[in-house]
Amino acid sequence: MILLRPYLIGSRRGSGSGEGGEASQQGLGPTFSPSQSRQIGSNLPARRRSPMRGSSILRDESPSRGRSRSRGRSSISPSPTLPRSQTHTSPPRTPRRRRSRSPNPPYTPFKTRHNNSAKPRECDLTPASHSIMKLAGRYMRVRLATMNGFPSDSEIVAWVKACFRQACNEEGATRRLERFTQDKAYYDYIFHLIKDKVSQIRNDVKTSADTKIIRNYEIDLKATQEEIHTRVEYLLNKSNFLFKNPDTATERFQNQIIFDIARDVWFSGPTKDGVKFSTLFTPIPPAMLALIAAGVHCSLSQWASGSFVKKHFKTDPNAINYGKALEVLTTWKQARPREFKGFQDTLWNALWVASGQMLPREQEESWFDEGEFEPEEEVADLVTNPALGALEALEASEPPLGPVERLKSLKQSLGSLECFKLLSGNFEALQRAEGKL
């Protein structure tokens, strides 16, 4: 509260009666009369004040301030100063997780996603499970390429378990393997993710074939529907599309599209399956070649009617075409094993170089032919060094001459100085001439 000084403003005399009124009418100006002092209370609500840090004096009652901000005393009494721990509340700390001293602690139950009907995704897994899942998926892709591209349902179940077990053993994740075998929700989630690799590898093969068949087999899309139908029907007949030259039907399984698809799917870089697991792809497995052949057949059959009709690379009837291609490769291998082995090695070397890798030293191509640089024979020395020719003639003479006679004969035939010049350039000839050899 602030007390006003005694010279408060008076009321101006208006037109009323009295001396003030008369003075104002005479032009003397307004006059002021003193009044008694009174207190003026504030109608504003009390302002909330917080205690100063490290002091028990409130801001409203600080003696160092010459003038208070409020015009009247608040009717609310100041609250006592509280410790900082009570004025600034914080959430309670999470208690530390106590580690189990058991040699086999229980694994964390697998929590399914909120939308259980959604397709499982690898990104929803924990980092540890995702790392194991990624490795198991690669093992599954390798099995499909090197063993069987169209496995049965029972084979898929066995392969999924074997691939995940192999990945866990390699990563040392024994608890994840126990979780896979005991937690049904976790097993179902992982099983679907690994099983999806079957359709993924087939889709990779067919997608690569779809982008290459038009250019590779010279299918004119501007031609009539009947002409396209005739061309595709010829390529599909007796698997002519597998030959290096489909029009002459020569060199089966050596068409350029076989190499291109194998490079795109398995050998396009150092991280691809064909490079990471090179021992399983050396030599090129027949199962991989049969899978490529079935994928190209499926892509070409989309144009069988003369216009494009999309088809999926699923089990039927592509599994039948896969079996036919595998039968051709098996028969070729049994009938001509050396020729088939050479074909596998040649294709693997080309794919290995295409992936950016170096061939082994013994398989690198030389820059010259084997017989291009033959070692110099003695006949060449006879041409360039006449002394050697004369020496050869003396050694072959009958009866044989001794060292002294041979040198004497050479000096007579060539001259002393010329004989020394020629023999000094060839230490072996000089030794022979002196009889030391």
Is residue 325 within 8 Å of residue 240, measured between CB atoms? no
In a domain, 344, yes or no: yes
Are the C-beta atoms of 77 and 60 separated by less than 8 Å? no
Cα distance between residue 110 and residue 101, in whole Å: 22
In a shared domain, residues 406 and 270: no
The domain in which residue 387 lies consists of 380-433
Do 136 and 270 share a domain, yes or no?
Answer: no
By the 8 A CB rule, do 293 and 329 touch?
Answer: no
Given 166, 186, 206, which residue is the final one in a domain? 206
Average pLDDT over residues 247-265: 91
* CB-CB contact of 13 with 19 (8 Å): no
Peptide bond into 317 cis (omega under 30): yes
Q: Are residues 201 and 327 in the same domain?
A: no
pLDDT at position 189 over 80: yes
Predicted local distance difference test score (pLDDT) of residue 303: 94
Residue 261 contacts residue 296 (beta carbons within 8 Å): yes
Q: Is 416 exposed, middle or buried (0-12, 13-18, 19+ CB in 10 A)?
A: exposed
According to the 3-state scheme, what is the secondary structure of 99-110?
CCCCCCCCCCCC
Residues 162 and 269 in one domain: no
Give a yes or no: residue 177 inside a domain: yes
pLDDT over threshold 90, residue 322 = yes
Q: How confident is the model at residue 68 (pLDDT cuts 50, 70, 90)?
A: very low
The pLDDT assigned to 33 comes to: 59
Residue 9 counted as domain residue:
no
Rounded to whole angstroms, the Cα distance separating 263 from 351 reads 6
How crowded is residue 282: how many other Cβ atoms within 10 Å of its Cβ? Answer: 14
The greatest distance separating any two alpha carbons of the chain, rounded to the nearest whole angstrom, comes to 181
pLDDT reading at 329 higher than 80: yes
Q: What is the mean pLDDT of residues 60-89?
A: 51
Mind spelling out the 3-state secondary structure of 266-320?
HCCCCCCHHHHCHHHHCCCCHHHHHHHHHHHHHHHHCCCCCCCCCCCCCCCCHHH
Mean pLDDT to the nearest integer, 1-19: 47
Exposure of 413 by Cβ count < 10 A (0-12 exposed, 13-18 middle, 19+ buried)? Answer: middle
Same domain? For 221 and 354 the reply is yes
Look at residue 57 and tell me if it is in a domain.
Answer: no
pLDDT of residue 55: 47
* Residue where a domain terminates, one of 145, 172, 206: 206
pLDDT: which is higher, 374 or 237: 237
Give the pLDDT confidence of 27-39 residue by residue, as tens digits.
Answer: 555 555 555 666 6
Residues 219 and 307 placed together within one structural domain of the fold: yes
User: Do residues 297 and 196 both lie within one domain?
Assistant: no
| Residue 119 domain-assigned (yes or no) | no
Looking up tokens 């001396």 gives 19
Asked if residue 263 belongs to a domain, the reply is: yes
Whether residue 268 is found in the same domain as residue 316: yes
pTM of the model: 0.59
Residue 30 lies in a domain: no
Measured on CA atoms in the order 388, 389, 394, 395, is the torsion positive or negative? positive
Question: Do residues 179 and 254 share a domain?
Answer: no
- Does one domain contain both 199 and 227? no
Count of the separate structural domains present in the chain: 3
Q: What percent of the chain has pLDDT over 90?
A: 39
Mean pLDDT, to the nearest integer, of 358-371?
A: 61
pLDDT tens string 292-319: 999 999 999 999 999 999 999 987 789 9
The verdict on 315 and 241 lying in the same domain is yes
Residues 6 or more apart whose CB falls under 8 angstroms from that of 163 comprise 136, 137, 139, 140, 143, 194
Question: Is it the case that residue 287 has pLDDT exceeding 90?
Answer: yes
Tracing tokens 């690669």 back to the chain, one arrives at 138
Residues 149 and 243 in one domain: no
Angle at 256 between CA 289 and CA 146, to 5 degrees: 15
* Residue among 2, 72, 1, 8 nearest 37 (CA): 8
Alpha-helix runs per DSSP H in 68-126: 84-87
Q: Which of 186, 206, 226 finishes a domain? A: 206
Whether 44 is in a domain gets the answer no
Beta-bridged to residue 139, according to DSSP, are none
